Structure 1
Amino acid sequence: MRVLVLFSHPVETSFGAALHERVLGALRTAGHEVDDCDLYAEGFDPRLTREERLGYHDLETNQTNVKDYVDRLLAADALVIVTPVWNFGHPAILKGFFDRVFLPGVSFKMKNGKVAPSLHNIRKLAVVTTYGGTRLRAFLVGDPPRKIATRVLRAVIKPAAPVRYHALYDMNRVTEDQRKAFLEKVGTSLEAF
């Protein structure tokens, strides 16, 4: 299976980077073809320009500035997102990826004035993430990142595709043993992806 891994953390020595490496290793061990998209390392520009917004629904030109990323997304059979949660949201670079790449004609189509999901090439989705706050704090604010994965992204990929959401909460207070256990849990899950 061809897996697109979206990674969004700017620090190469972070626990997020360790998770990214574990994800890559697990997927490759399982025999998957991996397209590693490190948004920071690739210098992805998350800003949706005025021109891009004006041409957002123009299917002939809306992919022009992000065509390589669109092609990578459309070539994938599965998507794995490795990202921290900051202030109960995704880093701006990942949010910008969704804004600029999940376009009309890519992740959805307009049919008779209604949105019709169309990213059906993605047959599996996994998110690997860390939160600075506790699970309770995330729950109390509605846990938007979890809902993006389990509701928003699930709605545009292949219907009934499995979604895995691996979250390590309270990252600022977890022990080294808890971090190691989470790395192992993620690796085991993605080796069976």
Structure 2
Amino acid sequence: MRVHLVQCHPLAESLNAHLAGTIAQWLLERGHEVDRLDLAVHGFSPSLTPEERRGYYAAPFTPPDIAPLQERLGQADCLILVFPTWWFSMPALLKGWFDRVWAPGFAYHHGTPIKPLLTGLKSVLVVTTLGSPWWIDRLLMRQPVRKVLRTALIGACAPKARFGMLSLYGAEEVDAGQLARFEGRIKKALAGLS
């Protein structure tokens, strides 16, 4: 299985970086091909320039720094996203990756109706960390990140892909036992992808 693992956290020593490393190692040990992209290390620019925005719907949208990233995503059978949830949203860097890489003409055909173009993606796994307790995300906020990813992005661009999401709540105070249990949940989800 060809996995595109996209991680998004500015700190190399973050819990998210640790989780992305654990995921990559587990997959590689089982013979999967892993293409790991750390958006912060890559120096990815999340902002559309005025010229890019003007030409956004004039497919294909392939600025020089975006075309290689689209190619990497286009070769994947599985997409894994590892990021923190901040203010009940994905980090701006990851949002910019969706804005610039998942562009019309590549991820979807912009028309009525929208036509999905990421049909090679068979599965998507999201691993996120939150400082808040589970009940705020699930009961009060109604899982906004899950809704955006599953419905608006994956649903529109790769609707046949299996979608899974694992959230580590209270991540700022997680102990070794809680982390080990969460890593066990991740490995179980990964085993189900292949």
Is TM > 0.5 for Structure 1 vs Structure 2? yes
Matches of 1:157 and 1:24 in 2, distance apart? 25
Is the contact made by 1:122 and 1:157 (CA closer than 8 Å) also made in structure 2?
Answer: no
In the alignment, structure 1 segments of 5+ residues that lack a partner are none
* Helix, strand or coil at the partner of 2:36: strand
Q: CA deviation at 1:157?
A: 4.3
The Cα RMSD (Å) is 1.5
> What SS does the aligned partner of 2:83 have?
strand
TM-fit CA distance, 1:29: 2.2
User: 2-side partners of 1:3 and 1:157: how far apart?
Assistant: 17
Three-state SS of the structure 1 residue aligned to 2:40 is coil
CA contact (8 A) 1:131 1:169 kept: yes
In 2, Cα distance between equivalents of 1:26 and 1:146: 24
Provide the residue aligned with 2:36 in structure 1.
Answer: 36
- 3-state SS of paired residue (1:164): strand
Q: Please tell me the residue identity of whatever aligns with 2:113.
A: K
Q: Indicate yes or no: 2:126 matched with 1:127.
A: yes
Q: Following the alignment from structure 1 to structure 2, what is the Cα–Cα distance between the partners of residues 161 and 119?
A: 9
Matched, 1:102 2:135: no
* Distance of 2:158 and 2:49 partners within structure 1: 29
Partner of 1:17: 17
- For 1:41-60, list aligned pairs within 5 A: 41-60=41-60
Separation in 2, partners of 1:27, 1:145: 25
8 Å Cα contact 1:120/1:156 also seen in 2: no
SS of residue paired to 1:13: coil
| C-alpha distance in structure 2 between counterparts of 1:3 and 1:46, whole Å | 22
Give, in angstroms, the shift of residue 15 of structure 1.
1.1
* 2:57–2:110 contact (8 Å) kept in structure 1: no
TM-score norm. by structure 2 comes to 0.92
Alpha-carbon deviation of 1:7? Answer: 0.4
- CA deviations on 1:129-185 (whole Å, 9 max, x unpaired) are 111111111121232111123222331344332111111112123322101211222
SS in 2 for 1:172: helix
State the shift of 1:191 in Å.
3.7
1:1-193 alignment to 2 at 5 Å?
1-60=1-60, 62-65=61-64, 66-111=66-111, 113-139=112-138, 140-193=140-193
**How far apart in 1 are the matches of 2:188 and 2:141?**
30
Structure 1 residue 16: deviation in Å? 0.9
Distance change >3 Å, CA 174–CA 192, structure 1 → 2: same
Q: Distance in 2 between matches of 1:57 and 1:16?
A: 33
Q: Aligned equivalents of 1:38 and 1:24: distance in 2?
A: 12
- 2:119 is aligned with what amino acid? H
- Cα distance in 2 for partners of 1:123, 1:34 equals 15
Instruction: Tell me if structure 2 keeps the 8 A contact 1:149–1:165.
Output: no
| Contact 1:26 1:191 survives alignment (8 Å) | no
The answer to whether the 8 A contact 1:126-1:163 is kept is yes
- Per the TM alignment, residue 20 of structure 1 is displaced from its structure 2 partner at its CA by 0.6
